[in-house]
Chains A and B, each alone.
Chain A
Amino acid sequence: MNTLSQIGIGRELAEQIGRHGAETYPHECCGALLGRDSAADAAREILALFPLVNRRDDSPRNRFSITADDVRAAENAARGQQLEIVGWYHSHPDHPARPSEYDREHAWPWYSYVIVSVQSGAPQEMTSWRLADDRTEFSAEAIAIRQHASA
């Protein structure tokens, strides 16, 4: 069993993820989590968001897609703020904030995957997950919501 990792986020940014999910409801929203990851003390902090357009026009209610071009745009935005992409967020409209098998199959290691459940248009539970190194499962990651974003 892996030790539970943790990711920090300011309350305003956490609420912004929820609002994005509410805005795109009943479609899935998505975006990049920009921040810092310190390997030394295993501390990871989200310091900015980079909201993106869900490119899955064919089934946006149960799928999201971020193209390589969007990833590059997010990387540039992160670099411009002396940050890096530490993960990605998306919403699960009218479903729990639990990663699906489809989420796992398409996930990358190392990144944090934040999921917000949006029930009847209102954001609810938010969870975060990391893919196991052997790709077999997601491990839950604790979210520390801070009153103010760290510097």
Chain B
Amino acid sequence: MPVKVIIPTPLRPFAGKRDSAEFNAATVGEALGCLTAEFAELRRHLFTEEGKLRSFVNVYVNDEDIRYLAKEDTRTKDGDTINIVPSIAGGIF
């Protein structure tokens, strides 16, 4: 059983309107790599030009924030759910 990636509402237009996708992946980074390989337009919204996850992109594996695990090297196993959750920021200048 593969890993399931939940796609947040604002990114679904760039993922064929899908709300989730499944991949065989051993780490979070691998799963996100598969996701952006299948839906290339997602890449600019999830990653900076340097290839780092954008600061306002939060990734959870089964409700655990990967920042407190091994970040993108966090291991995944069959049946895990990866959730991409936005945080929102802005300001005057």
- The CA-CA distance from A121 to B65 in the complex, in Å, is 38
B27-41 with Cβ < 8 A to chain A: 41
How many A-B contacts if CB must be within 8 Å?
88
The residues of B that contact A65 with a CB separation of less than 8 Å are 87-89
The residues of A that contact B41 with a CB separation of less than 8 Å are 133
User: Chain A 73-99 against B: per-residue CB contact (8 Å), 1 yes, 0 no?
Assistant: 000000000001100101011010001
Given contacts A68-B58, A134-B44, contact A108 B89 (CB under 8 A): no
> How many positions in chain A have a CB within 8 Å of any CB in the partner chain?
37
- B87 engages A107 (CB within 8 Å): no
The residues of B that contact A66 with a CB separation of less than 8 Å are 87-89
User: Chain A 1-41 against B: per-residue CB contact (8 Å), 1 yes, 0 no?
Assistant: 00000000000000000000000000010100000000000
Interchain CB contact (< 8 A) of B87 among A71, A90, A109, A113: A71
Instruction: Determine whether A135 belongs to the interface, using a CB cutoff of 8 Å to chain B.
Output: yes
Instruction: Determine whether B26 belongs to the interface, using a CB cutoff of 8 Å to chain A.
Output: no
Instruction: Determine whether B14 belongs to the interface, using a CB cutoff of 8 Å to chain A.
Output: yes
On A, residues with C-beta under 8 Å from B are 28, 30, 56, 59, 61-68, 70-72, 84-85, 88, 90, 92-93, 95, 99-103, 106-111, 113, 133-135
